Amino acid sequence: MVMIWVYTSWLIFRGDVVQVSTQVARNGKNSMRRDWLLRDYKTGEMLIRASSNWVMMNKVTGRLSKIPDEVRGEIECHFVNGPPVVDDDCRKLPKLEEATADYVRNCLTPRWNDFDVNQHVNNVKYIGWILESAPQEKYELASITLEYRRECRKNSVAAVSALGVEIVKAQTKWRPKYTR
């Protein structure tokens, strides 16, 4: 989940500097969590909070796997104790029906540059598809939550459907654009 509090101007000539801090934590038996905080370096103002869960997948079976003890042992010393930087309840997504969605974009077919080295659609591409589906003339993204369910491969066609296989669940929240 990503929560955007303030958009920066991102103008290099103004010298905007963004401070990024990140930490990793245990998240149950078989996953880890990574949190990010982005602040305006000069003012300390919070810009963005983000949290993600990471799991391991067996490359052969495509199923979730337990994180090997030797891997967990190497990184456990870097774990921090504490709650996620975003409310965990905000990240649980309800089932979406096409009739209740504000904007729907169907029949998305992945292109060559959408794939990662494993020939799956790169996770950032889903975000692009979602953002391209909503009008951004008067609104800006306030938060986005994604739940990746399975891989989208070369011959897949993404659509909102109760009949198909669930690839990704997402929820966005928008707010009126502030004119700077």
pLDDT at 19: 92
Q: Provide the CA 97 distance to its chain's centre, in angstroms.
A: 21
Q: What is the pLDDT of residues 11-67, one digit of tens each?
A: 555 677 889 999 999 887 788 899 999 998 888 999 899 999 888 888 788 788 888
Catalytic residue among 113, 118, 122, 123: 118
Are both 85 and 1 inside the same structural domain? yes
- Give the list of residues 6+ apart from residue 3 with CB closer than 8 angstroms, or none: 48, 49, 50, 86, 142, 143
- 52 Cβ neighbours under 8 A, 6+ residues apart: 1, 33, 34
Q: In this structure, are 137 and 97 located in the same domain? A: yes
Same domain for 43 and 100? no
Question: How sure is the predictor about 118, in pLDDT bands with cuts at 50, 70 and 90?
Answer: confident
Better pLDDT: 106 or 112: 112
Q: b vs e for 119-128, b when ≥16 Cβ sit within 10 Å of the residue's Cβ?
A: ebbbeebbbe
- What values do phi and psi take at 75, rounded to 5? -105, -15
Query: Which structure tokens are listed for 170?
Result: 């997402």
Contact 85, 50 (CB under 8 A): yes
Domain boundary among 90, 112, 127: 90
* Shared-domain flag, residues 100 and 172: yes
pLDDT value for 37: 93
Catalytic residue among 106, 120, 122, 123: 120
Residues 103 and 46 grouped into a single domain: no
152 is catalytic: yes
Q: How many structural domains is the chain composed of?
A: 2
For residues 26 and 75, membership in a common domain is answered with yes
Whether 103 and 179 map to the same domain: the answer is yes
The yes-or-no answer on residue 78 being catalytic is no
pLDDT attached to residue 160? 59
pLDDT score recorded for residue 49:
92
Q: Where is the domain boundary, 90, 114, 139? A: 90
Residues 28 and 13 in one domain: yes
- Together in a domain, 16 and 79: yes
* Predicted TM-score (pTM) of this structure: 0.76
Catalytic residue flag (residue 58): no
Most confident of 23-32, 88-97, 105-114, 145-154: 23-32
Q: What is the pLDDT of residues 126-177, one digit of tens each?
A: 888 888 877 778 888 898 888 888 777 777 776 656 566 777 888 888 888 8
Return the CATH number at 165. Answer: 3.10.129.10
Enclosing domain of residue 39: 1-90
Query: Once rounded to an integer, what is the mean pLDDT over residues 101-127?
Result: 81
pLDDT, position 88: 63
Asked whether residue 101 carries a pLDDT value surpassing 80, the answer given is: no
Say if residues 16 and 8 touch (Cβ distance below 8 Å). Answer: yes
- Residues 6, 69 within the same domain: yes
